[in-house]
Every structure is written in structure tokens, then in C-alpha cells.
Structure 1
């Protein structure tokens, strides 16, 4: 039975930590951090670490950093009221203290850079941690980590998961706020998983987590790469910076071994330049990869396939998830588990008996109906939209219908391209709202629709284009146009259950809306 934890962030915080911590003296903590102590010595042991004063637990050292608008030191009183017994901050934070603090204070040059090390020392993760398998890339991280967890469990081992949708171990699920939690929480939850005798943890590692040092202090047994396409340029500025950030994972400071998909130019560069033992993997028979995926054949909605090494080793597998990109995800998960030291014969038997690569992933090519085919997917960039649409099988004279939008307050340059890609791969394009955030949603839709219209004018005159809001109305309109031979893709939000409109969370679940619309128009649903 799966348990869904709920509560305030502070109430949930104790689920991100081991149940017991021996504790460490403040002075013992400071020396390796090159910190300068101020005020009285601390006599109480440090049993936790937090960057957020709102979720501080009794016995924590509070790490006060400079934020985008405020400095954490301004909220020291809140941290103390919640149980903080010591403070580490920078010179700016120290200068913000109106009077000597009632708890010991230490100063470092960069608080965020020492956060992971401090948490590792308090929670003991440097010596006691499950085996870690990391997955990075633009698309496919979530599905691949779910598959790794499923394979691990099929092998009869206890597995953990840290990612976009959830953090989980032994049937307990804690909703994730970030793709990768803050360094302090990450070390805490890994210590908890070790306490629960979790053998392997599959973890999504985003470019944000690498940029902000959230995975510092961790050593991954195997790191995997899926692909790299335009995304997050609001953070990185350029694709080259985006790539170089991802490449940090494939160094000895972070990982012991790597498995890299080389079906894009970035993967090829990564495999060639990686400074750790690396195996390459490809769906393209013409690439010079260590592993190739061959004999790909349809199997219900998914595919069966064989993964072949240049030395003759073979792994036979299948996935029930639609799309060749899920074949790539499944192959990557399989080879990563093999690279972690599992015997090939043992792995093959687990794949045969448990079918772990067909694991259901919330909001990732999640089938809501079969006639018409109706799918919800997280695809929120051009490459993911193209691949998701290509994977949608239609029968006879069936059409591909897509409902999607672009996120506000994010990279604006990809909006018209998303529209263009949709018009090239779908027969009916319905542009609607995603998460507008602080932007006016109408101009966002118009920018996306403009890209679609340009393709219609130049290449595909038969494509129908609609601009419809709100999103629920757009989903229902898509179903109203569909026949049993068609395929509907609702893209961009996946597992998310609320829509951010001008800072207000509006309840919205694409899976629920699509299921309701199918029922309304007389179709059968499986959700």
C-alpha cells in the first residue's frame, strides 16, 4: 500500500530526515567549513541543517543565505522560534543582525557552497548512503528513474526515488517541490533511506541542481544522460552553458561511471570527453556506440527490443509505454543497472518475469483512453512535443490532435518554435494556457499560435489551428472533434494538479479533464 504524506512544509520536513541523528558539536562542524565563529560557544549538538527558517526543526543549524529579494538572516527570529540552535551566514548576514544573536553564529564566504558538506557531516551521508544512480538530460529523466526503481525492485531489492513527481521509499511517497531537493534536504532524505535499508536510489539531476550545488557532496555509482534540447535558457543563457552545466555530472567529483545516449551531438561530445569510465548507447545503428538497440518491434502500445553490446552480449526487453523515446529511456535504465554491477543473467530474468520497463509513470505518456487514443504527457518543449506526437498511433484516416501551451515567465524564444513543431506533426492544433505565472496569458498563446500559423501557411495548409482558453475548455473541444480512429495528446503539464495564474493556484489536472471530456462525449476511459 502506498502512503501519500501530507501537511505543511515544516510538518513534512521530518520525513526528509533520519529518525535519529547522533548530532555533532558546532565547533566540530565549523572547522572543515573554514568558518569563523562569533559569540558564545554552542553547547547543544547539531542534529539537522536547514536553509529555510520556516521549516527549521529543533536542533538545527540555520544556514542564512542571500536570496533574490531578502537575506535569510532577516528571518533569524523565526528560525530560533522553530528550534534553531546555531546560525551560519555570510558577512552580509552578520551585518544584518541588529544585536548579538541569542545563539552561536559563524561566518563563511559562501553559505550555499558549504550547505551540502554541512548536511553530509550532520547526517553522515559521506559514509552511510544507498547506492545512487543519477539521470540527467532535458527529456526522459522522470521515466528513466521510475524504470530504474522498477528494475531494482524486480531484482528483489528495496529502492528509493528522488525526482520531479515524488520522493519515495518503501511505499511512502513525499511530493517533490523541486526536481532535485535542496542540498540540506537531499542529504537528510538519503540518510533516512539508508536507515530504512534502501539499497539503490534513482535520482533525477537537473541543471538547476548542478548550478546551485544541490548534489554537491554526493558520489553517484552510475550517471546517465538522455538528451539535450532547448530548455531553461532563462537560467543558462545559451545551449553551450546548459550543456557544460550538465557535463559537470560526468566528472570524478560527482560520478564513478556513466552511460550516455549518443543520439544527439551533445551526447556524442559528452561520451567523448567524459573523464570517468563511460559506455555509449544508441538507437541509431550507424553510430559508433558500445551498445545498440536493435530489433525494435511494436508490442501493444509499446515496443519489444534487444540491446546488443559490441562484444556480443544481449539483453532482451520490452516496454508498454508508447514511443521510441521510451525505448531509449528503457534501454538507458537497463544499461545503467547493468553498469552498477548487476549480473546480466540476473537482470535478464528480472526483465522477463516482472516487466519493470512498463511501469506507469504519472503524467508521462499516460494513457487515459484507447478509442480514441487519449494521452497526457509532460512534453513542454519542441523536441518532446515532436516525439510525443510521432509516438501517437492512429488507425485508418485517423488524425493527431494536440492541446498545449507555453509557460509564462520562462524562455520566450521557444514559444513560436513549439507552435511550429505542433503544426508539423499534428492535424489539429489547439493552443491554450499552460502556467501563465505572472504574464498575461493571451500574448503567450498568440506567440505559440503564430509559430503554428507560419508552418500552416508555408507547408501544411490542411492543418486546423485553434486558440482556446481556459485549458479545460480546450481539452473538451479537442475531444468533441475526435473520432475513434484519432489520437489526442494533451501536453505540457503531465502530473501537475494546479495551474499558476498570476500567483494563484487554480485546481487543474489534465488527466481528470481529459477523462471527463471523454465520458461526456460517450467514449470509454481507463483512468
Structure 2
């Protein structure tokens, strides 16, 4: 597409400076031959700093935020500037990636459960012989072939590009994890979602939002005034109940959860080490469901995935049948086993609510728990002692270790965690590998070692540098293997 076709009528492009555009790119690191580079103001830098880098990478044109003007950059590449760039960028992107409008999209937001709900949606569709696209924390692509991503919700240019690629491959459905940052920073502007889901809202990201109220308001914007066809909201959650009652939501609202007031309700729950069973009562009928998943929160996530697709017209009975094949998401309640060794669980839980859910989910096993956990650096400090209290409430032994310290002093992180009363009996080992090895050694073979915080991540970020590291890799090096479906008795 020509630059003039993308930018008109907002920006006049003289014919002699018009260029054929491949993709629209915001991050100079992603620029390829023939791309249009957008030099806008970010949180830390102005894109002007990276114009030459983008041109050297192959950009055929640049549009920058600034006073109206034009100049010829290096290699004869035209550089246009306009003060209205941010007002028009969303329109330009949707024009360039028009295929996105052909997709039926689901947005899943919430503190916890986004990855699980989106992947369960993809798994259910796949079981019914329908391909599904995914964008989120664990990668972007057509399930199950996902490529690594930098953010839960990427920039709008990246989101639309991926979705457009899916449309060109005749994909009809896609599920997106939508973070509060993504909503606040307009990374989903102009995208229509058939269904938007709120899984829950618990303490997290206060370093960014400042308060739970501001955090809630960011989530609320997806549902109130957002571009959605229906809302699905978990009313077991206090903020969910508040949102479901919001009179400013103008689309149909469906509620789900364990609550008697939920329209999509799971009840008669029986948990066991192999998974769980329950009854689903819904607007589309009632059925018993068998899930090969651990933890009631996963039942809630599976219920949400089923409801999303039922809202879009898929047969309820087929969805319930397909749910019996659901597999846990990478780094979420993954079970590892070793002959004559304690059971090991790897989970991404890095918030107080998620940690509490994971530890509660293991109660049916009636085994003593050893917990290895840490807290991320340069993130909300107030949740650290709260997580220590939760650890004490559920675990017989606790190892405090480094998560992703990032640029923060890990001793400061430890100090914040250990401010909680009763935490003086924690084993404190900064080296995460050694902490896990110590927990495995000190835990009886009939016990469980729970390792939380990093889940699927294959790195540890220390002093701004990512080092290759994996919790699962540590277990495998100790002779562990991932459990088969029928392992636990």
C-alpha cells in the first residue's frame, strides 16, 4: 500500500515522495525493508532518536510527531512530521491492516487467568477442528505454534499486524490477553471484540496505576465505552460484581463463577489429584464436566472459555465434551515427578491472590508443602509482605529466593518480604537454582515442592540483563520429568 493511501487525508504526501509501504512499525528494532517507521513519544524516549537507525534497517519512509514539516533523511528517505500523529495513527493502522475486521475476537483481561482462558479457548476450538489465533504472555501465533512476545499486550501496530496475518491465513477466531497497561496505553484502539472477559482483579501493577481504584478504572474502560459485543464477568470477584452492575455497560452482560447468582455457574465441585468434576448450569443448558486440570481456579477459567464460545453460538454440549481434553498452560500448575523424590509443581503465580489460589488448589493431595518463591524487582513493593503471610499460612517450609530482580537490589526485595511477622524462619537463598535444590533435598518424598513466580519464563533478569534460566530446567537437571496425564493417584 502506498504511504499516501495510508495517511490521507490527514497528511499530504507529494507524489514524488510517495513510497510503497510494507508494514507500519513503532519500534526501530523491528524495522525491515520497506517499512514505515513511526517516530512518536514513548515513556522514556522520543522516536526521533531512532530515525537514522530505522532508515539504516530499511525504512522507506518516516512519519514523526512534531511541528508540520518535511525533510529528506539519510539515503534519500522522506521524513514527514505532524503534531496530529497520535490522533490519526490508529486510523492509519486499521487502514493498513483491514483484514482484522474479518476476525471474531475475544479479549480477556484480569490480574490472573488471562493466559489460561485464552489458551483454553484455543484448545476447545482446536478440539472442534477450528484453528484459533492467540496473542498474549506466552506468545503470538496460531495455536499451538506461538512466537515469543515482549509484552502481554503488544503495541497496536504489532497486534493488528499479527491479526491481519491470521486473517490472510483464513483464521476466523482469535483470543487476546489484554493487560491494564495495554488498555491505558491504547494498544487495542479501534479493535472490535465479540466478547470481553474480566477474570478477576487483585493487587498488582500498583507501581504503574498507583491505586486499586485506578487499576480498576483501566480495566473498566474495556467494558464501558469499549468496542465490544458482549461482556463476560466473574462475579466471585468483588471488582467483578461491581463491574457487572455498572449501568454504563451498554452491551449484554453475562456473569460466571461459583456464586448462586452467576448465570454461568459451576457447582457440585469435586477435586482430586487427577483433576476435578463439576456441574455447569448455563443459559445454554446444564451438564456435568470432567476436567484433567488441578485447582478450582482452573475450573473457573475453563468455565469462562466455554461461556465465551457459547455466547458466540458454539454448541454447549460440544464445548463440554471438548473440555475433557484441556491441558494445563505452560508454567501453570505443571507437575514434575521423580522416583523416590517429592512431587514438584511449577507455577507462574507472582501476586498474592495467585499464590493463595495455587496453594489452596493443592489441599486435596493432603501433602506437606515446601514453597520456593520470590518477588519481582521494580514492581509493587506493597504485595511482598502479603505474599509472605500467604506462604506461612499454607507451607510447612518456605524458601525465599530471587525472582526477576531487574534493576532493584535483591537484598531490598528480601527485606520487604521479611517485614511480615513470622517470616524469620524462611530459608533465604538468593541463588534460585540453589534454593530449589535445597527445597528438594529438605522435603520428604511424600511432600510437594511448589516453585512459583516464573512459570514458563526461560530467563532471569538481573541488573537489566536476561540470563538463560528455567525452573523446569533445574528440576530436569535433578532427575525430574514432566508428569504424564495418569501419573498422580
Q: TM-score, structure 1 length as denominator?
A: 0.85
2:455 aligned with 1:505: no
**CA deviation string 1:358-392 (max 9, x = no partner):** 31311011111276331110100111111111112
Candidates 370, 387, 395, aligned match of 1:401:
370
Determine which of 247, 253, 257 is the counterpart of 2:230. 257
By how many angstroms is 1:57 displaced?
Answer: 2.1
Match status 1:243 vs 2:220: no
- Choose the corresponding residue for 1:82, options 50, 53, 57: 57
Distance 1:302 1:114 in 2: 50
Match status 1:368 vs 2:368: no
Q: Which of 41, 46, 57 in structure 2 is aligned with 1:71?
A: 46
After superposition, the C-alpha distances for 1:279-328 in whole angstroms (9 at most, x for unaligned) are 0012133xx2212111111244321112103x582143232221111111
By how many angstroms is 1:344 displaced? Answer: 2.1
Aligned pair partner of 2:348 in 355, 363, 378:
378
Distance verdict in 2 for CA 1:117–1:455, change over 3 Å: farther
Aligned to 1:283: 258
Matched, 1:390 2:360: yes
Partner Cα distance (1:189, 1:525) in 2: 32
Matched, 1:429 2:413: no
Give the CA RMSD over aligned residues: 2.5
Question: How far apart in 1 are the matches of 2:427 and 2:381?
Answer: 20
After superposition, where does 1:85-96 map in structure 2 within 5 Å?
85-91=60-66
Separation in 2 of the partners of 1:321 and 1:511?
Answer: 19
Shift of the alpha carbon at 1:227?
Answer: 0.4
Aligned to 1:123: 97
- Per the TM alignment, residue 215 of structure 1 is displaced from its structure 2 partner at its CA by 1.0
Kept in 1, the 8 Å contact 2:388–2:423? The answer is no
The 3-state SS of whatever aligns with 1:412 is: coil
8 Å Cα contact 1:40-1:104 kept in structure 2: no
User: Contact conserved, 1:431 with 1:449, CA < 8 A, in 2?
Assistant: no
1:508–1:126 CA distance, 2 compared to 1 (3 A) = closer
Q: CA deviation at 1:450?
A: 2.3
Task: In structure 2, list runs of 5 or more residues that go unmatched.
Answer: 485-489
Structure 2 CA distance for partners of 1:105 and 1:346, relative to 1, 3 Å: same
Aligned partners of 2:187 and 2:258: how far apart in 1?
32
Displacement of 1:408 after TM fit? 0.8
Q: Which moved more, 1:178-187 or 1:84-93?
A: 84-93
Quote the Cα distance in structure 2 between the aligned partners of 1:498 and 1:312. 44
Aligned partners of 1:312, 1:256: CA distance in 2, in Å? 18
- 1:188 is aligned to 2:177: no
Counterpart in the other structure of 2:487: none
Whether contact under 8 Å (2:72, 2:78) holds in the other structure is no
In structure 1, list runs of 5 or more residues that go unmatched: 1-22, 458-463
Aligned length: 480
Q: How far did residue 350 of structure 1 move?
A: 3.2
Matching of residue 308 in structure 1 with residue 281 in structure 2: yes
Equivalent residue number for residue 439 of structure 1: 408
State the alpha-carbon separation in 2 of the partners of residues 266 and 202 from structure 1: 23
> Distance in 1 between the 2:288 and 2:106 partners?
22
* CA distance in structure 2 between the partners assigned to 1:448 and 1:515 by the alignment: 29
- 1:15-414 alignment runs, 5 A limit: 23=1, 25-31=2-8, 34-35=10-11, 37=12, 41-91=16-66, 102-109=76-83, 111-112=85-86, 114-125=88-99, 127=101, 129-169=102-142, 171-251=144-224, 253-273=226-246, 274-285=249-260, 288-309=261-282, 313-351=285-323, 355-356=324-325, 358-369=326-337, 372-393=342-363, 398-414=367-383
How far the C-alpha of 1:106 sits from its partner, in A, is 3.6
Q: Distance in 2 between matches of 1:109 and 1:89?
A: 8
Residues 100 and 160, structure 2, Cα contact 8 Å, conserved in 1: no
Taking the aligned partners of 2:357 and 2:69, their CA distance within structure 1 comes to 51
- 1:292 match: secondary structure: strand
Deviation of 1:220 after TM superposition, in Å, equals 0.7
Deviation of 1:465 after TM superposition, in Å, equals: 1.7
The TM-score with structure 2 as length reference comes to: 0.91
CA displacement at 1:41 relative to structure 2 = 4.7
TM superposition shift of 1:231: 0.5
Secondary structure at 1:220 match in 2? coil
| Contact 1:146 1:359 (C-alpha < 8 Å) held by counterparts | no
**Counterpart-to-counterpart distance in 1, 2:438 and 2:86:** 48
The Cα of 1:251 is off from its aligned counterpart by: 3.5
Deviation at residue 98 of structure 1 after TM alignment: 9.6
Change (3 A) 1:524 1:124: closer
Contact 2:26 2:37 in 1 (8 A): yes
* Aligned-partner SS, 2:277: strand
Give the CA deviation at 1:126: 5.0
Structure 1 residues 71 and 373, CA gap change in structure 2 (3 angstroms): same
Could you say what secondary structure the match of 1:256 adopts? coil
Cα distance in 2 between the residues matched to 1:41 and 1:413: 57
Residue-by-residue CA offset, 1:400-419 (whole Å, 9 max, x unaligned): 11101111111111111111
* Distance (Å, rounded) in 2 between the aligned partners of 1:433 and 1:229: 22
Task: Please give the alpha-carbon distance, in whole angstroms, between the structure 2 residues aligned to 1:437 and 1:70.
Answer: 20
Residues 402/508 of structure 1: CA separation in 2 closer, same or farther (3 Å cut): same
Q: SS of the counterpart of 1:244?
A: helix
For the residue of structure 2 that corresponds to 1:360, the secondary structure is coil
